[in-house]
């Protein structure tokens, strides 16, 4: 559905993305993961045709984004980081405008459907400028969905939403992908990736540093952070003695980082208690992978 080859974007002298290559199948949910400024938004904006690339190519459903922008834009629904809204309009009239500009097949009916679907019925008659951030985000989502696009590109869809609304968005995304919609979403909330994505593309400083399914990336292992009051070589030995532990790294302040093939938190806790156990936290594996790949590990 989406094919990106050697995609490069240079802003002035800064290299935003460097020769990205990936492809996404129909109905897949793919998460772009990366620290701020990694190039996620740039990639998404290029895919959606609001930004030109310096070199390389991008195709959506066999259509070239740069050669046939109009045809491509008909297939895409895009929610940027800041939802693009005309705040002086009511929700319904705004969505009607979007439906017409985006060439929805049956604009008025699709507007009512999308209002229902993203839960905007109670505010449909209100001015967008009077809505809370959560509702504005929903209007942004509705705007991306209104013409029933085959590809949905969501830049940080859950930012500014409360936990209940995040769950709703995730459910909506999953529901959409069952209906053959391909979804690309960017986020730095790792739980979100684990919860909805089939595949993850980790981008760092304009490069793809990893792309694989969520399971393959996280493996079965875990990483555990421990802090004890009285560090020393005995602690290291004790930790390494626990069955399932692959590696132990000691750092300042009595901190240890334990990599294990299985969840060994209970055994670890038991063996470090004599040294004055202060903290023990299990880090999810994907987080560990992410931090390691983007070079932000402690």
Partner 1 sequence: MKVLYIAGRELRAAFTTTVGWIVLCGWLEITGLFWVLLVSNYAMESQNLVFNPYAGAYMNLTDYLLSPFFGNCAVILVMVVPALTMRTFSEEFANRSMELLATSPVSTAEIVLGKYLGVLGFVLILLGLTLQYPVSLLRWGSPDWGAIAGGYIGLLLLSSVLLAMGIWFSSLTKNQLVSLILTFVVALGLMVLEWGSRSPDDWMAQLSYMSHLSEVLQGAIRLSDLAYFGGGVVFFLLATHQRMESFRWS
Min dist. Cβ of residue 158 to partner 1 (A): 18
> Which residue in the set 25, 67, 103, 171 belongs to the binding site for partner 1 (CB under 8 A)?
103
> Which residue in the set 4, 22, 30, 78 belongs to the binding site for partner 1 (CB under 8 A)?
78
Of 19-27, 95-103, 169-177, 278-286, the window that binds partner 1 (rule: CB under 8 A) is 95-103
Using the rule CB under 8 A, is 82 a contact of partner 1? yes
Calpha distance 193→200 (Å, rounded): 7
Using the rule CB under 8 A, is 249 a contact of partner 1? no
Min dist. Cβ of residue 141 to partner 1 (A): 13
Residue 241 region by backbone torsions, left for phi larger than 0, else alpha for psi between -120 and 50, else beta: alpha
> Which residue in the set 5, 86, 232, 251 belongs to the binding site for partner 1 (CB under 8 A)?
86
Calpha distance 150→179 (Å, rounded): 9
Nearest alpha carbon to residue 203 among 17, 10, 44, 34:
34
Using the rule CB under 8 A, is 247 a contact of partner 1? no
Using the rule CB under 8 A, is 97 a contact of partner 1? yes
Calpha distance 191→226 (Å, rounded): 22
Calpha distance 84→90 (Å, rounded): 14
Calpha distance 269→226 (Å, rounded): 9
Of 86-94, 204-212, 231-239, 259-267, the window that binds partner 1 (rule: CB under 8 A) is 86-94
Which x/- pattern over 48-77 shows residues binding partner 1 (rule: CB under 8 A)?
Answer: xxxxx-----------------xx-xx-x-
> Which residue in the set 3, 19, 100, 126 belongs to the binding site for partner 1 (CB under 8 A)?
100
Q: Within 118-147, which residues bind partner 1 (CB under 8 A)? A: 143
Calpha distance 176→181 (Å, rounded): 6
Residues binding partner 1 (CB under 8 A): 11, 45, 48-52, 70-71, 73-74, 76, 78, 80, 82, 84-89, 97-98, 100-103, 143
């Amino acid at each position: 559905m989406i094919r990106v080859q050697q995609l490069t974007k240079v802003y002035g002298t800064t290299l935003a993305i460097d020769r990205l290559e990936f492809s996404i199948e129909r109905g897949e949910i793919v998460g772009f993961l990366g620290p701020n400024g990694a190039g996620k938004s740039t990639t998404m904006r290029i895919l959606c045709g609001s930004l030109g690339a310096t070199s390389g190519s991008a195709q959506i459903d066999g259509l070239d984004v740069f050669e046939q922008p109009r045809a491509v834009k008909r297939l895409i629904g895009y929610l940027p980081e800041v939802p693009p809204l005309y705040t002086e309009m009511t929700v319904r009239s705004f969505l009607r405008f979007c439906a017409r500009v985006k060439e929805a097949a049956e604009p008025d009916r699709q507007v009512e459907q999308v209002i229902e679907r993203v839960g905007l019925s109670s505010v449909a008659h209100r001015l967008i400028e009077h809505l809370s951030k959560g509702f504005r985000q929903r209007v942004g989502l509705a705007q991306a969905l209104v013409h029933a696009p085959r590809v949905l590109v969501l830049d940080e869809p859950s930012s500014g939403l409360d936990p209940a609304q995040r769950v709703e968005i995730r459910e909506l995304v999953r529901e959409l992908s069952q209906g053959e919609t391909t979804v690309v979403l960017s986020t730095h909330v790792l739980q979100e990736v684990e919860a909805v994505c089939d595949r993850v593309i980790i981008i760092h400083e304009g490069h793809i540093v990893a792309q694989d399914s969520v399971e393959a990336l996280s493996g079965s292992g875990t990483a555990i952070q421990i802090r004890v009051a009285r560090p020393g070589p005995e602690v290291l030995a004790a930790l390494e003695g626990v069955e399932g532990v692959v590696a132990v790294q000691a750092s300042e302040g009595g901190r240890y980082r334990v990599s294990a093939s299985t969840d060994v938190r209970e055994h670890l806790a038991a063996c470090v208690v004599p040294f004055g156990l202060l903290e023990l936290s299990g880090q999810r594996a994907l987080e560990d992978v992410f931090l390691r790949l983007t070079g932000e590990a402690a």
